[in-house]
Chain A
Amino acid sequence: MLHINNLHASINGSPILRGVNLEIRDGEVHAIMGPNGSGKSTLAQILAGRESYQVDQGSVLWNGLDLLSLPAEERARNGLFLAFQYPVEIPGVSNAYFLKAAMNAMRRQQGLAELDAMDCLARIKTEMAAVGMKEEFLYRSVNTGFSGGEKKRNEVLQMLLLEPTLAILDETDSGLDIDALKTVSEGINRLRSPTRSMIVITHYQRLLDTIVPDHVHVLSQGRIVRSGGRELALEIEANGYAGIATSDASATAGPVTGIAP
């Protein structure tokens, strides 16, 4: 479903991604781990269509579409979702209005009738309960004045409502306490299905205890330097990133597919 081939990207002339290769099939959950500054978030933002990064080389094929040629909104309407590491505050736009517009943008794309305010609200309230959000968050401005945890819940809420086919979760676990982490992971797990793929970006392996990935990749200095199964995450937790990056130098040479041998 997603094929990233030799992706190079930079911002203001300084390279961040230096040849990322990754293949994700329908229904797979891939975890991308890596130290700070390794390019994890850049990869996520580029896949979602952020225009401030310059793609210098490479391609991304998504269900036969040239992903990089699509504007962000079309990627979203075709089923790509990015849960932001730092969700953006938008004062003056109510969360309810925002969620309804996003849901209906998706439905229009799918040729479905738009939901009216009542139906939307009913859907939203059900999912809010599932991620442990109080109803008052409907009427507040998008993310404005939300705590770190509330923002992350709001991201997962959007994901549950938009039901993407490719979900990218960028450090959704950061800033969450144990209880919030549990609610959020349950929400994410509920979306797992044979037709939906996920990229879970995380710095720590604790999220992967609940969202068990099919594949784990280590991104370092803009390249995937190692790929493996679940056990790779545990190894990172035990040894840190320092050992990992150098222990498999061959991985940096050729393309690494995300497919386990």
Chain B
Amino acid sequence: MSTIEFWLAEHRRQSPDLPGAKLPWLAALRARAITRFAEAGWPTRREENWHHTSLEFMQRFVLAGAAHTAPQSVLRTLQRTDSDAHWLVFVDGRYAPDLSAIGALPAGAHIGSLADALAQDAEQVKVAFAESCNGDIGEEGEAGDSPAALNTAFAADGAWIHLASGVVVDQPIHIVCIFAGTSHRHLRHLICAEAGARVSVAEHYPANEAAPTLTTAITRIKAGADSRIEHFKLQQENRLAIHLAGIDVEQARGARFASHSLSFGARLARTDIHTRLAGEGAEALLNGLYCADGETHVDHHTRIEHAKPLGLSREYYRGLLAGHAHGVFAGRIIVAPDAQQTDALQRCDSLLLSPFAKSDTRPELEIHADDVKCAHGATVGQLDEEAQFYLRSRGINAAEARQWLTYAFASTALERIASAPLQELACVALRALLHETTESGDKP
């Protein structure tokens, strides 16, 4: 049985029990999505957006339930770092109210589960949900978006965050997605911030015991006029996991959006981040750090669309590639004819820690306006030999010197995280990761 048939069968089995299955609009969306997925199949290298990352092997990919992990232990580790924050926990793709801690919120802020919202007041999420599907099953659907269609077909739950205009949530909202036994999960997070609202949202995909699993996660963010939204994502899935994600943002006039995508795990992780600066004077920061080793593959495809004048975008990606890992970064910047005085900068720097690691970087600038400032640059390098010698000449072990320099290279990305608790969390995760991956033979 090919896996397409598996997914069709799985959909027949699951769809009657999915949250909102009785809602005609949602049932129709899901039906269209599974049809689209079945028609398109998994993307292959023939598709432009998947040139460096083929999912052809997914045809034969056999899912196996994740070894049981105790969500409580994962949570304890996380929550210790940021106890005042708001915690939404999803176990096997379903909201776990007992493990969640929403905490005190200002009036006008709603944080909860999408499934609950569909059950209680489907109308309020209908527009946001439908908009979040445009990319994969709507008229403007593109080749290679079948993983997003699969997500729409199966998405059972996710975070539903709505901030009324002017609402400021001081502490980060954490969305923690834990595997505890299933082999695939599909999350849909919807974040709507009305004018002037401010919030930091962190998505976590922590490691569980190694098993071949599939995660699809789509996050749709609507940033109202002059809102400030910081989105943070920490992906640390196990070495056999497949992680396919999309983050889709629409920014109104003057909205400031920052994305920090930290991709530290999984056998294959692909993240598509699209933001549309749909109003004048919007600002976007797309910041990313990816670390891969062994036989793993990590791919970020970003698209920044400057639709209106006076937009500012800054994009900084850094990659650390060891072993036989393959890192891909493709960054597309589109400046519409109307988007005069756009200021866009893109950089991607990767560090190869082994002679077998591979990096592919592809900048793509599509500029249709004449009064703009757009620049891009990319480097692929190795650890600085002179710096290693300098540290060693002060008595620091060769392995430690490499570790320091690697950390220093990567930590530049973390310095851009505005929320202090999220930055601290990222530093802890990076240190743990480098400690794991660096050979430390002569360390005590």
| Chain A residues within CB distance 8 Å of chain B | 48-52, 71-73, 75-77, 81-82, 84, 87-93, 98, 101-102, 105-106, 109, 141, 158, 162
- Please indicate the chain B residues that have their CB under 8 angstroms from the CB of A76 in the complex: 392-395
With both beta carbons as reference points, the residue of chain A lying nearest to B406 in the complex is identified as: A92
B397 within 8 A of A: yes
- Please indicate the chain B residues that have their CB under 8 angstroms from the CB of A82 in the complex: 393
- Minimum CB–CB distance from B374 to chain A (whole Å) comes to 26
- Please indicate the chain A residues that have their CB under 8 angstroms from the CB of B386 in the complex: 88
**Scoring B residues 368 to 395 as 1 if CB is less than 8 Å from chain A, else 0, what string do you get?**
0000000000000000111101111111
Q: Is the CB of B395 within 8 A of A102?
A: yes
Known interface pairs A87-B390, A88-B387, A90-B391; A105-B408 also in contact (CB < 8 Å)? no
Q: Is the CB of B390 within 8 A of A102?
A: no
B105 within 8 A of A: no
Q: How many Å lie between the Cα of A109 and that of B396 in the bound state? A: 11
Some 19 contacts from A to B, beta carbons below 8 A apart, are: A51-B389, A72-B393, A73-B392, A73-B398, A77-B395, A81-B393, A88-B390, A90-B390, A90-B391, A90-B404, A90-B408, A101-B394, A101-B400, A102-B394, A102-B396, A105-B397, A109-B395, A158-B394, A162-B394
Q: How many Å lie between the Cα of A215 and that of B54 in the bound state? A: 68
B336 within 8 A of A: no
With both beta carbons as reference points, the residue of chain A lying nearest to B385 in the complex is identified as: A52
**Scoring B residues 274 to 296 as 1 if CB is less than 8 Å from chain A, else 0, what string do you get?**
00000000000000000000000
- Minimum CB–CB distance from B230 to chain A (whole Å) comes to 22
> Dominant SS at the B interface?
helix
- Minimum CB–CB distance from A170 to chain B (whole Å) comes to 11
With both beta carbons as reference points, the residue of chain A lying nearest to B389 in the complex is identified as: A50
B7 within 8 A of A: no
With both beta carbons as reference points, the residue of chain B lying nearest to A80 in the complex is identified as: B393
Q: How many Å lie between the Cα of A89 and that of B392 in the bound state? A: 14
Q: Is the CB of A101 within 8 A of B396?
A: yes
Q: How many Å lie between the Cα of A49 and that of B395 in the bound state? A: 11
- Please indicate the chain B residues that have their CB under 8 angstroms from the CB of A92 in the complex: 407-409, 411-412
B interface residues, tally (CB under 8 Å): 23
With both beta carbons as reference points, the residue of chain B lying nearest to A106 in the complex is identified as: B395
Q: Which 4 A-B pairs rank lowest in CB-CB distance, beginning with the nearest?
A: A92-B408, A105-B395, A102-B394, A88-B390
- Please indicate the chain A residues that have their CB under 8 angstroms from the CB of B407 in the complex: 92
Q: How many Å lie between the Cα of A105 and that of B408 in the bound state? A: 20
| Chain B residues within CB distance 8 Å of chain A | 384-387, 389-398, 400-401, 404-405, 407-409, 411-412
- Please indicate the chain A residues that have their CB under 8 angstroms from the CB of B387 in the complex: 88-90
- Minimum CB–CB distance from A205 to chain B (whole Å) comes to 27
- Please indicate the chain B residues that have their CB under 8 angstroms from the CB of A49 in the complex: 389, 392-393
With both beta carbons as reference points, the residue of chain A lying nearest to B407 in the complex is identified as: A92
- Please indicate the chain A residues that have their CB under 8 angstroms from the CB of B411 in the complex: 92
Most chain A CB atoms below 10 A, which of B385, B386, B391, B412: B391
- Minimum CB–CB distance from A74 to chain B (whole Å) comes to 8
Q: Is the CB of B389 within 8 A of A72?
A: yes
With both beta carbons as reference points, the residue of chain A lying nearest to B401 in the complex is identified as: A73
Q: How many Å lie between the Cα of A227 and that of B390 in the bound state? A: 30
Known interface pairs A88-B390, A90-B387, A90-B391; A73-B397 also in contact (CB < 8 Å)? yes
- Please indicate the chain A residues that have their CB under 8 angstroms from the CB of B390 in the complex: 84, 87-88, 90
- Minimum CB–CB distance from A141 to chain B (whole Å) comes to 8
Q: How many Å lie between the Cα of A82 and that of B401 in the bound state? A: 17
Q: How many Å lie between the Cα of A77 and that of B396 in the bound state? A: 9
With both beta carbons as reference points, the residue of chain A lying nearest to B384 in the complex is identified as: A88
With both beta carbons as reference points, the residue of chain A lying nearest to B390 in the complex is identified as: A88
Q: Is the CB of B396 within 8 A of A105?
A: yes
Q: How many Å lie between the Cα of A76 and that of B400 in the bound state? A: 15
Q: Is the CB of B408 within 8 A of A72?
A: no
- Minimum CB–CB distance from A83 to chain B (whole Å) comes to 10
Most chain A CB atoms below 10 A, which of B389, B394, B401, B409: B394
Q: How many Å lie between the Cα of A227 and that of B126 in the bound state? A: 89
- Please indicate the chain A residues that have their CB under 8 angstroms from the CB of B384 in the complex: 88
Most chain A CB atoms below 10 A, which of B386, B395, B396, B401: B395
Q: How many Å lie between the Cα of A258 and that of B339 in the bound state? A: 73
Known interface pairs A73-B396, A158-B394; A91-B389 also in contact (CB < 8 Å)? no
